[in-house]
Structure 1
């Protein structure tokens, strides 16, 4: 009996230990503690994001304050921070000249994209792009630069002393213009841009366009209905106002005619001669019921 009780106690202890291990593993899974490697990766990501964000801000300031005249000063070797318009001195001049020379106006988009990546890395939401995303971004950039070159070339527009499309945009645009003419190059650039947008958004552009057109058509129909209802309301209001004005004019005419008739009667009564009689006294003679006994006020009775 003692042996059996000891065996039962051993089994119970083993069961309790297993339950304890399972509960501890569940607690660790539900409340994981960050280890040193995770902390170091997070700290490294914050540092990389901060450096990238600050660099993008510096590049943006260098682009905004870029002056082509500063480049001549830097090339002559007389560069001085007080003589340059760029906020970052000779380094900012070199950075601005390089970015504008390669990308043209697309340098601003490039710097803003770098800043967005740095910000996402700083807050821990950076996602490593795949090869499709990289190709789509490159295609959209090149096609946009080509369209910029085609649109700005007839006007000889050179912002910041550089081509608006930069070196890459000018190179690809001239190449495809030679091969497909200006119209063909424009059509090709537009096609590549639409394909890149479809790849980046991961949505069919035809359905999006049809949905936008349908929503726009519904909105236009609602606007037309509202305008028609408003116009009908205005027409009804104008008709009511005209009717009220006609009724008011008619009432005014009736009132004026009544007043004129009353004035005419008063004037007619005032125009009748006065007569005097012992029975009625002084009154006006109407002419229809003349009394031979009536006389004027200045006449006296014969018996007096």
Structure 2
């Protein structure tokens, strides 16, 4: 099967350094394998989205030399596909409606395989997956063998929220299969989500891609570099400094006196191997 990788940002802010690292890492893996690099905008959580950020991210990537091989996929236009997956899970009794509040769960996991609260008139339920007591294992191409007891780590996790929005786990699984993704290269903050996604792939009869989780970029105080922490966006009008930092973060050589992003990426790609990527789970951004 031909390699197909992807970069899938959420439009909750402008492109920042942590997202740039994920974009560069996924692009290098795809190009090293002679495969395709795809884009997906994960815009199915309207309360968290920032107006105009999807357009901002998509406009910024080419300035860093990162050009996708196909038009971007917008999750907000894929609700019918998530509806179909939802109905498949409901038809096989693998999900259940749940009116349990956070107080009902006392801050813990839902472990009962059924809702313990009474239905609330006029309030729609969340929908949860029935999670068995199983270990889900996989071999991450960078972080090595991983095993998670799904019940202890995630419990009966939500796939559709009370507001009607589909959860990231379901949408991600459906779209990775739809786009034919063969390897998911992303930040290490999503490593713990992978067993849930593998479990959903099995429930839906979908293929399981390979996974490679890059080190998580931290700020000077050891916090995740993310939009929620108000990380400064990278500047697409002057892309070379941030792109050099991203390559150095990934332990890749930087071409001295490079005049444009394409030259920097071509030099890095010529010296690239996934095995050379740093194996640590997190590291400080320069």
Taking structure 2 as the reference length, the TM-score comes to 0.18
Which structure is higher in RCO with an 8 Å CA cutoff and minimum separation 6? 2
Which structure has more helix as a fraction of its residues? Answer: 1
Which structure has more strand as a fraction of its residues? Answer: 2
Could you say which structure has the larger radius of gyration?
Answer: 1
Taking structure 1 as the reference length, the TM-score comes to 0.17
